[in-house]
A and B are shown apart, each in its own frame.
Chain A
């Protein structure tokens, strides 16, 4: 129901966005919103300090006139996501950790599986299930390298089209001795999955490889809310796009379908994409600015996106995109 409401609201807002004039004067300090120029400045700062981020031009037919042509939105690709949010939440008991200094302890809400508790069993169980599924659907999955990602979606049983009909005979008559046969070696540790290789992380070589999804994150400028807006699109180990339901597994359960909604991306063709709804962004930003100013500090508008990325992390806690620097609250 909530998502239907969101869709209706989204359409209405598209009209409203069209009518909303472009913000001209900086109101960052008073209300936490951004002008397009400030968005570009903050984006430049982010790209400069975090080279994983880059500007993108998007679809040329969707170029927004209030942003520079080649700086329409920000993108970072192939961000690893090793664990499902569900696994993180509701696993294990909360343990109260007493601190010896007596300043009051802290609560450890979830245990990492270093100590080999229930979570490990969960993982093993899920792992075997996934394998059997794989065998049923794609018998040739052993060679399905990322290159095969394109046709990986044809597992729909009712749509079995015999592709053998299309094969051409006589085209291989030409003997070409210079073609290498490149079957990807099933090296478990090094490059079993492109994701494991992409992460360059020791963790990826462990048993969590099968769970590793990757995400592309986009930050666009929302003209109506006058704030940045985060978009996420996920892929599984074979670089096959995730379904909506699968993507919600990586969203904190408090936020799925409420804060995170499916809407059409302003710069991309195609289906709706998951995005963190921007209606609260300006408020949160304003609070952060106030906290900083009460501490006697000053928050430059160029830091906006770095702070923004920190607070949207609560929505997508398992997507490990944040390699940005720290900023001082006081």
Chain B
């Protein structure tokens, strides 16, 4: 094995993108429904792998719907919002503990196989927030928990789907995959037997790994895969411990504006150290989003222009 040319695979971190309607709905819920309660609330977000810019995870007012359906060309992410009552609580909260608690729930889904039935559990996120309803300021901090597992080594160059041999057969198979299952899937490509098939993730087994491409909808525009592949890889290695030490192929499905998938990327990686995620006590987690200065800190948005009655009255005459 070539050891010198091995490079650690890096992931493009998520960037949160919050639609103003998200705060409007939060204000409404806080005033009319939650009031003094600060219990957590399940939300959903979505991301798109069509014409991706950055690596965005978007939330809007639909996040609070019970039956949230992602917009066209988008996939769901499962989240939680912890909206605190005071800024002091927001500040004082043990952020690492919260991340660890959320991370353990992620691990539970990975180990129990719940993520096999509903792969969107792998794209878990949460928001810590404080809504200053008087000043119309919203403090928020997104996190995308991810267990700190041994690094994946990149083998060979990153390839575009169109540059692979048999790429047209791959593309045909991928096009046949229903949109709902495109978030995580397996592309089975056996050239000798001439079988090219995109399958759902639930068909995962630890045989024939050399014929498999582990596919996912990749919202990253960079050469790095999106953050979700990190959880995906950890999940696969947890489900099939025999993958440790074997080269695995990941396919980041990327659509352009015309829904062409030629530019999807393939990474060939290997994880040499085993790691048992069921021993969750020993696992560390990462995933807090950096603020716009690249520091560990929350963000703030002022919604006065669209929430302050005085401002609204001013604008409407």
Query: Which A residues are closer than 8 A to B by beta carbons?
Result: 3-4, 7, 51, 54, 56-60, 69-70, 75, 77, 140, 143-154, 156, 159, 161, 163-164, 166-169, 171-172, 174, 176-180, 182, 184, 191, 194, 197-200, 239, 241, 243-245, 262, 268-272
Candidates B25, B62, B298, B302; contact of A270 at CB < 8 Å: B25
B28 within 8 A of A: yes
Contact among B9, B65, B137 with A57 in the assembled complex (CB-CB below 8 Å): B65
Determine if A182 and B292 form an interchain contact, defined as CB atoms under 8 angstroms apart: no
Q: Is A159 a contact partner of B304 (Cβ separation < 8 A)?
A: yes
- In the complex, what's the smallest C-beta–C-beta distance from A231 to chain B, in angstroms? 12
* In the bound complex, CA of A59 to CA of B24 (Å): 11
| A56 / chain B contacts, CB cutoff of 8 Å | 62, 71
Given A147-B17, A180-B12, A3 and B256 touching (CB < 8 A)?
Answer: no
**For the complex, would chain A's binding face be called helix, strand, loop or mixed by DSSP majority?**
loop
- 12 contacting pairs across A/B (C-beta < 8 A): A3-B317, A57-B69, A145-B53, A150-B18, A151-B299, A159-B304, A167-B295, A176-B286, A179-B10, A199-B257, A244-B315, A270-B61
Binds A, one of B104-112, B246-254, B273-281, B305-313: B305-313
Inter-chain contact A198/B17, CB cutoff 8 Å: no
- Collect the chain B residues with CB atoms within 8 Å of residue A272's CB: 312, 316
Instruction: List chain B residues, Cβ under 8 A from A199.
Output: 257
Chain A residues contacting B220 (CB-CB under 8 Å) are 182
Which of B53, B67, B71 is close to A77, meaning CB atoms less than 8 Å apart? B71
Task: Count chain B CB atoms within 10 A of each CB in A69, A146, A176 and give the residue with the most.
Answer: A176
Complex CA–CA separation, A184 to B223 (angstroms): 12
Residues of B within 8 A of A168 (CB): 95, 296-297
A197→B53 CA distance, assembly (Å) = 8
Identify which of A166, A179, A270 contacts B13 (C-beta below 8 A). A179
Interface string of B8-20 (1 = CB under 8 A from A): 1111110111101
Cβ-defined contact, A60 with B65, below 8 A: yes
Determine whether the beta carbon of A59 is less than 8 Å from that of B53: no
Asked if residues B315 and A243 are in contact (CB atoms below 8 Å), the reply is yes
Known: A151-B300, A176-B148. A182 touches B54 (CB 8 A): yes
Task: Determine which of B301, B305, B312 lies in contact with A151 in the assembled complex, contact meaning CB atoms within 8 Å.
Answer: B301
Chain B residues positioned under 8 Å from A58 (CB to CB): 62
- On B, residues with C-beta under 8 Å from A are 8-13, 15-18, 20-21, 24-25, 28, 51, 53-56, 61-62, 64-67, 69, 71-72, 91, 95-96, 135, 137, 139-140, 148, 151-152, 220-222, 224, 230, 256-258, 284, 286, 288, 291-293, 295-307, 312, 315-317
Given contacts A57-B69, A180-B222, contact A163 B291 (CB under 8 A): yes
Closest 7 CB pairs of A and B: A147-B15, A270-B24, A200-B257, A180-B10, A167-B297, A194-B53, A180-B224
Q: Which residues of B sit under 8 angstroms from A268, Cβ to Cβ? A: 21, 61
Residues of chain B within 8 A (CB-CB) of A77 are 71
B316 (CB) vs chain A CBs: closest residue = A3
Q: How far is the CB of B185 from chain A (nearest CB, A)?
A: 22
Per the bound structure, the CA–CA distance linking A144 and B291 in Å amounts to: 11
Contacts of B11 in A (CB 8 A): 178-180
Interface contact A147-B297, CB-CB below 8 Å: no
Asked if A153 contacts B301 (CB within 8 A), the reply is yes
- List chain B residues, Cβ under 8 A from A182: 12-13, 54-55, 220, 222, 224
Assess whether A147 is in contact with B54, with CB atoms less than 8 Å apart. yes
Most chain B beta carbons < 10 A, residue from A154, A176, A180, A239: A180
Tell me whether B137 and A59 are in contact (CB under 8 A). Answer: no
- Contact call A180/B13, Cβ cutoff below 8 A: yes
Least CB separation from B303: chain A residue: A153
Q: Which residues of chain B come closer than 8 Å to A152, judged between CB atoms?
A: 301
Q: Given the complex of chains A and B, what is the CA–CA distance between A182 and B220 in angstroms?
A: 10
Once the chains are docked, how many angstroms separate the CA of A59 from the CA of B67? 10
**Could you say which residues of chain A place their CB within 8 Å of the CB of B51?**
197-198, 200
Residue in chain B with minimal CB distance to A4: B317
User: In the bound complex, how far is the Cα of B20 from the Cα of A198, in angstroms?
Assistant: 21
Tell me the nearest residue of chain A to B291, going by C-beta: A163
Q: Would B61 and A153 count as touching, CB distance under 8 A?
A: no
Q: Which residue of B lies closest to A7 (CB)?
A: B316
Are A200 and B256 in touch, CB under 8 angstroms? yes
How distant is A276 from chain B, measured CB to nearest CB, in Å?
Answer: 17
Find B292's partner among A7, A151, A262 (CB 8 Å cutoff): A151
Interchain CA distance A54-B50 in the complex, whole Å = 15
With contact pairs A60-B66, A167-B295, A198-B51 given, residues A146 and B230 touching in the complex (Cβ less than 8 Å): no
A164 to B317, CA, bound (A): 38
CA distance in complex: A58, B53 (Å): 25
Assess A171 versus B292: contact at CB under 8 Å? Given A147-B16, A159-B137, A270-B20.
Answer: no
Docked-complex contact A166 and B304, CB < 8 angstroms: no
With a cutoff of 8 Å between Cβ atoms, the chain B residues found around residue A147 in the complex are: 15-17, 54, 56
Of B54, B284, B296, B299, the contact of A145 (CB 8 Å cutoff): B54
Complex CA distance for A171 and B93, rounded to whole angstroms: 13
Which B residues touch A163, using CB under 8 A? 291, 297-300
